[in-house]
Amino acid sequence: MNQLTKLIFSACLILIVIPFKINGQTNEPNDPTEEKLIIAAREIIKEAGTCVLITLDDASHPMARIMDPFPPESDFTVWFGTNSKSRKVNQIKNNPTVTLYYQDSDTSGYVVIHGKAQIVDDQKEKEKRWKEAWEAFYPNNREGYLLIKVAPEWMEILSYPRGIRGDPTTWKTPTVIFD
């Protein structure tokens, strides 16, 4: 091979191999502490800003939609505001099992919270959990405004920049179990 061909071949090989070394599963030990997982989860959730709420419809098909959550509480309970006539309200009433997906702002990791949701129509809670940006969605003095409260059961965290990777064989992500 001539020098130019060798150079092009080497460059292509580097461009193919390096991303796998940086982002791929490795065989290095990965046993993050629960504290490290929780810190990483809070950082990812804060940076993400929004999340995807996944419910199940009457035929058990997953239904996903982008949501504007409140920051999680200390126990990772997450609250949302919604319209009382939205499909998600009936879906949660029929099956409270939900999943929340937060993607890291640089797409290098994620947090998935699995839990049980409930619809909350308590006036004090609704006053406490309101965002002025939502005024346009509720022009009649917040008529039809409800809350969704998600109590976490378990949470998965993956973040390569934070040193949190899946199992090198199964790719199972590190998990935090809630009481």
Q: Is 134 helix (H, G, I), strand (E, B) or coil?
A: helix
Residue 128 maps to a domain? yes
Residue 131 maps to a domain? yes
CATH number at residue 135: 2.30.110.10
For the chain, which ranges sit under pLDDT 50? 4-29
**Which phi and psi (to 5°) does residue 134 adopt?**
-85, -5
Cα atoms in the 13 Å half-sphere on the side-chain side of 13: 6
Look up the domain containing 54 and give its range: 28-177
* pLDDT the model gives residue 30: 61
* pLDDT the model gives residue 138: 84
Residue 10 maps to a domain? no
* pLDDT the model gives residue 140: 78
* pLDDT the model gives residue 13: 34
